[in-house]
Amino acid sequence: MEKQESRVGSAVEMFESGYNCCQAVFATYADLYGMDREMALKLASTMGAGIGRMREVCGAVSAMALLYGLKNGNIDPRDAKAKEETYTVVRNMADKFEAENGSIICRELLKLSVKREESAKPDERTKEYYMTRPCSKVVASAASIVEEYLLC
């Protein structure tokens, strides 16, 4: 694949227009690997806010892993070497994300004191929401890592 124009800004714009972190990163690049936007948004919708707002693995990190799978995921359950390669690259991407952001866990990125949100209802997206959360920066970080690892 030839070098693509950066889409990091597009991923951040998607997040800041209301899509969750996973949708913003995943749908920004999924078309490069044969998935249409609607399907990408549907698939990634469940992974936002740390998987269904449970504040576990950041949705932007999940998007990186899903995108690697679209590009290079193994399909043979007996191919241990391909599985290992897939896991190695995903770990490397997650390690880079953690080095840049301090964690891959949503609640830690948000500095929440609770392990899991009581409600599944998402917070209202206001100007204050975006100003008090690192999510736009986290989305940009994940998108940059996708470009480094997958668009080369």
User: Which residue in 71, 67, 69 sits closest to 24, CA to CA?
Assistant: 67
Displacement of CA 105 from its chain's centroid (Å): 12
105-131 pLDDT, tens per residue? 999 999 999 888 889 999 999 999 999
Contact (CB, 8 A) for 68 and 89? yes
- Is the pLDDT at 52 greater than 80? The verdict is yes
Report how far residue 115's alpha carbon sits from residue 66's, in angstroms, rounded to the nearest whole number.
Answer: 24
- Say if residue 3's pLDDT is above 70: no
Give the containing element (helix H, strand E) for 4. Answer: none
pLDDT the model gives residue 1: 46
Nearest to 138 by CA among 10, 11, 43, 6: 11
Owner of token pair 């990186």: 64
DSSP 77-112: TT-HHHHHHHHHHHHHHHHHHHHHHS-SBHHHHTT-
Per-residue pLDDT tens digits for 27-43? 999 999 999 999 999 99
Return the DSSP state at 3. Answer: P
Reported as type and span, the H/E element at residue 63 is helix 59-72
Taking only the tens place, the pLDDT of each residue in 91-105 is 999 999 999 999 999
Q: In whole numbers, what is the pLDDT of the chain averaged over residues?
A: 95
Query: How much of the chain, in percent, has pLDDT values that exceed 70?
Result: 98
